[in-house]
Amino acid sequence: MNKLDPRLSWAALVASALVAANVPAIAQTAAGVPSQEEIGLQLKPRGLPTVGHALAPPPGPGPAIAPVNAPSPPSSSYGASQHRASPIVSHSVTAPDAPPSVTFRTITFEFGSARLRPESIETLRNLGNALNQELKDEKAFVIVGHTDRTGTRAYNDALSRQRADAVKEYLVKEMGVAAERLQTVGKGFSEPVDPKRPYAAGNRRVVMINAGPS
């Protein structure tokens, strides 16, 4: 039997993961940095529901996670809001077959740059530990960078990819995560979570998707 080209396998995984990531997410506002255990739980495959029964909800959120209807923080100017963006973790569970994903807003960058801000490190360490422990048997993840509407499409596509690459680089070099488990994608401002406010801080985010077996 002929082996599939690994590049084609990755392309198929990324395509399916990104399509699934467009399913509306259950937004959960965190009061602090998500823990290693919370990240591991949200990125674990949940399986399919039993026929005739509703999909069981994930275990209740920890104290750092607030309900879905928690009010969003008020918006402000671009530069100020970028540095005060509320830390939010979310995952998509609407479709039973959608791969698990987590949105990190405690991973932030210098203004107009792919340089990680110091306050991002705790989240990145928790993510790296989860990948090495709770998620050690999961083989393929996609890191997706998103920006707001400031600047041109080409600029934001490149910036969002560079930011996703910066997250991967930290996880590989500092946390020892195998590089072949991680793929990066930059979506620019093409998929805002707040389309009515394209410059809002909430649109700037990093998403990690469990793409399934490699």
30-65, pLDDT tens digit by residue? 448 999 999 999 999 976 443 433 444 444 444 433
Q: What is the dihedral of CA 32, 21, 166, 138, to 10 degrees?
A: 90
State the pLDDT at residue 214: 54
Q: Let me know if residue 54 belongs to a domain.
A: no
Q: Let me know if residue 153 belongs to a domain.
A: yes
State the pLDDT at residue 134: 97
CA distance 170 to 205: 16
The CATH number of residue 88's host domain is 3.30.1330.60
Q: Let me know if residue 145 belongs to a domain.
A: yes
Q: Let me know if residue 55 belongs to a domain.
A: no
**Could you list the residue range(s) of the whole structural domain that residue 196 is in?**
6-44+63-210
State the pLDDT at residue 5: 55
Q: Let me know if residue 1 belongs to a domain.
A: no
- Helical axes 153-173 vs 121-132, angle rounded to 10°: 60
State the pLDDT at residue 72: 45
pTM, to two decimals: 0.68
Q: Let me know if residue 58 belongs to a domain.
A: no
Please tell me the total count of domains within the chain: 1
Residues of the chain with pLDDT under 70: 1-31, 47-96, 214
State the pLDDT at residue 61: 46
Write the single-letter amino acid at 38: E
Q: Let me know if residue 72 belongs to a domain.
A: yes
| Of 186, 206, 165, 181, nearest in space to 131 by CA | 181
CA distance 169 to 149: 25
Q: Are 145 and 185 within 8 A, CB to CB?
A: yes
Q: Let me know if residue 125 belongs to a domain.
A: yes
State the pLDDT at residue 31: 44
